[in-house]
């Protein structure tokens, strides 16, 4: 089977509650996205991935779904959604839905009926008796909670939740669950959506509920990571649902190495089109993401090269709603925010694979400027803070951990203008707007010919129109302490991408000094010296 998306596609992720608010309640909404379509089209985007807009009690900002076929009232109506699909289509933009099927909300009808004792729905979830007053097993949980919660009033029964207590895991051993999900997918495909981003898709199938071997993080994972049952389900969803619509699927896959990753998106197996792996997000951590260390660019280069080489086709991303902003990870960023953002645009648009741009990345938004925990909303951050407190980690360190890693760093409202509320809202924003919005915003960027937004547009346009960038092979040419260089090649034409991933001016690697046809420099550079965070693109046959 082949890719169900054009190799020229450039996808934009929207986190709806943070994008644009049109009724002053401080929450972004679908109307706000419709109003922003010109900005998105102008950027050159071909697809929008919408983080969940389904009905939800928002324990995990919509990743806890109470009704897969209804729109969250605060976000708008189904009519608004249909209008979004139609208006996007007019601009050549396809809508991609977030498919969260590892778990539902505990407020989903199915769970309520399970609680009411309906056998059919009990079998939709993973409910188990404890052993002699103990939990059913020793597994871990993604949000640092206990993964088992008492099932209703029962004294001895528990349900499994690998995320929050309000996110009970579905039982993928039950064919009824698979049938329900097929029906849900068709419901959205019939409304015109063109693909899905599948949330934590490689953990949906639990092949046993036995104790796991004890691990620092996520004990028990050998029983639910990328199991054969998961592959089977993905192949069936593709054959029965995606293929007939020509729709595509990108999977968010946790704890995968290149071999596991390849199995999940190998075209010959017919499961996913591409995957989001995490390894390059982990280049500045020790053991777990809450312990950050210096970002070493060379580690990023090595990781990217490894995945670029191992997989036929990559989902390329540096930011999303779960990760700190990438440019904020550079310790030597200094006042090079804009330059670093441009360099990342160059890097992202010249790697092999489908590029995903996260809202705000196109204007170089940085991490939230939260002062203390009371300004942070994310459930994960609060849980981790609590856990760290339990472990006796001092308050100052606890806060540092959260400040640098919180998912809210990327969830701060989109900065549209220098107006109060950043043009995001006229009301009180649900999450604190970054104080830099007076200078970092779309309106200001629109006026800067040489600005960050202009450079993203330029790189996206090139990525879409250049066959070598869209389809060419990848090979790494140079990985140094600061500079990354790689080639993309098609039919004898060779493009060379050069990124200075540091705040230092450095020499162009010797082997590249013969390159004469400089197509692009993000800093109007030339010659053998790269400026801080400079990106260059050469056309050059000679360098090997
Ligand atoms: O994320 C799953 C995931 O593994 C992590 O990225 C997650 O953010 C967390 O940091 C694990 O420690 C997906 C969604 O992207 C995330 O927003 C949801 O909270 C989660 O699944 C549950 O649906
Ligand atoms: Ca609103």
pLDDT at 289 over 90: no
User: Which tokens sit at 272?
Assistant: 């996913």
Is the confidence at residue 544, as pLDDT, over 70?
no
Q: What is the pTM of this model?
A: 0.98
CB 430 within 8 A of CB 375: no
Could you list which residues have their CB under 5 Å from ion ligand 2?
A: 21, 23, 25, 27, 29
Predicted confidence (pLDDT) per residue in 78-133, tens digit: 999 999 999 999 999 999 999 999 999 999 999 999 999 999 999 999 999 998 88
Residues written for the chain: 544
Contact 510, 531 (CB under 8 A): no
CB 531 within 8 A of CB 523: yes
Catalytic member of 29, 106, 199, 380: 199
Closest among 519, 540, 492, 517 to 346, alpha carbons compared: 519
According to the model, what pLDDT value does residue 5 have? 97
Band of pLDDT at residue 316, cut at 50, 70 and 90:
very high
The arithmetic mean of pLDDT across residues 5-34, rounded, is: 98
Ligand closest to CA 426: 2
Question: 57 in the Ramachandran plot: left (φ > 0), alpha (ψ -120 to 50) or beta?
Answer: alpha
Task: Determine the atom of ligand 1 nearest the C-alpha atom of 321.
Answer: 17
User: For a pLDDT cut of 90, what percent of the chain falls above it?
Assistant: 95
Burial of 269 (0-12, 13-18, 19+ CB in 10 A): middle
- Using CB distances shorter than 6 Å, the residues near ligand 1 are 60, 63, 100, 142, 163, 199-200, 252, 254, 321-322, 380, 407
Q: Which ligand is nearest to the CA of 428?
A: 2
Where does the pLDDT of residue 287 fall: very low under 50, low under 70, confident under 90, or very high at 90 and above?
confident
Produce one character per residue of 300-326: b if its CB has 16 or more CB atoms within 10 Å, e if not.
bbbbbbbbbeebebbbbbbbbbbbbbb
Residue pLDDT, tens place only, 420-454: 999 999 999 999 999 999 999 999 999 999 999 99
Q: At what angle do helices 228-237 and 258-265 cross, to 10 degrees?
A: 30
Query: Looking at residue 294, what is its pLDDT?
Result: 87
Residue that the structure tokens 């092999």 belong to: 352
pLDDT given at position 292? 87
Distance of CA 432 to the CA centre of its chain: 21
Judged against a pLDDT cut of 80, whether residue 1 lies above it is answered with no
For 211-231, the pLDDT digits (tens) are 999 998 999 999 999 999 999
Q: Do residues 508 and 473 make contact, with C-beta atoms less than 8 angstroms apart?
A: no
């Amino acid at each position: 089977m082949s890719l169900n998306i054009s190799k020229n596609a450039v996808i934009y992720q929207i986190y709806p509650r943070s994008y644009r608010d049109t009724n002053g309640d401080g929450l972004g909404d679908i109307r706000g996205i419709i109003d922003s379509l010109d900005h998105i089209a102008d950027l050159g985007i071909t697809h929008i991935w919408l983080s969940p807009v389904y009905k939800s009690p928002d324990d995990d900002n919509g990743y806890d779904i109470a009704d897969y076929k209804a729109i969250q009232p605060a976000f708008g109506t189904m009519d608004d959604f249909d209008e979004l699909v139609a208006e996007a289509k007019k601009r050549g933009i396809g809508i991609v839905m977030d498919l969260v099927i590892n778990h539902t909300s505990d407020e989903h009808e199915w769970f309520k009926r399970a609680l009411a004792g309906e056998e059919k729905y009990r079998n939709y979830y993973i409910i188990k008796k404890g052993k002699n007053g103990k939990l059913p097993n020793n597994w871990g949980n993604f949000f640092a909670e206990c993964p088992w919660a008492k099932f209703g009033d029962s004294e001895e029964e528990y349900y499994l939740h690998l995320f929050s207590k309000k996110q009970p895991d579905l039982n993928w051993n039950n064919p009824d669950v698979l049938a329900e999900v097929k029906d849900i997918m068709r419901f959205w495909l019939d409304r015109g959506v063109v693909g899905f981003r599948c949330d934590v898709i490689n953990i949906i199938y639990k092949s046993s509920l036995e104790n796991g071997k004890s691990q620092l993080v996520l004990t028990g994972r050998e029983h639910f990571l990328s199991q054969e049952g998961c592959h089977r389900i993905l192949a069936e969803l593709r054959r029965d649902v995606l293929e007939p619509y020509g729709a595509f699927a990108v999977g968010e896959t946790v704890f995968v190495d290149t071999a596991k990753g390849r199995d999940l998106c190998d075209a010959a197996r017919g499961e996913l089109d591409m995957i989001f792996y995490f390894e390059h997000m982990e280049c500045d951590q020790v053991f777990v993401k809450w312990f950050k260390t210096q970002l070493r660019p060379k580690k990023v280069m090595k990781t990217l090269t490894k995945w670029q080489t191992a997989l036929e086709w990559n989902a390329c991303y540096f930011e999303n709603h779960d990760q700190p902003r990438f440019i904020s990870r550079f310790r030597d960023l200094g006042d090079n925010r804009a330059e670093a953002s441009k360099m990342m645009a160059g890097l992202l648009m010249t790697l092999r694979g489908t590029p995903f741009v996260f809202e705000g990345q196109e204007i170089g938004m940085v991490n939230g400027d939260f002062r203390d925990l009371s300004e942070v909303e994310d459930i994960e951050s609060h849980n981790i803070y609590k856990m760290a407190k339990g472990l006796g980690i001092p308050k100052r360190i606890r806060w540092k951990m959260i400040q640098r890693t919180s998912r809210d760093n990327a969830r701060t409202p989109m900065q549209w203008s220098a107006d109060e509320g950043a043009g995001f809202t006229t009301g009180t924003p649900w999450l604190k707007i970054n104080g830099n919005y007076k200078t970092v915003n779309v309106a200001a960027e629109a006026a800067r010919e040489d600005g960050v937004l202009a450079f993203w547009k330029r790189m996206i346009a090139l990525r879409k129109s250049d066959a070598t960038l869209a389809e060419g092979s990848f090979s790494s040419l140079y990985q140094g302490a600061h500079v990354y260089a790689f080639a993309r090649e098609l039919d004898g034409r060779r493009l060379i991408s050069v990124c200075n991933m540091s705040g230092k001016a450095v020499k162009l690697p010797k082997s590249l000094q013969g390159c004469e046809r400089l197509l692009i420099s993000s800093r109007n550079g030339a010659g053998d010296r790269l400026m801080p965070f400079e990106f260059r693109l050469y056309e050059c046959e000679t360098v090997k």
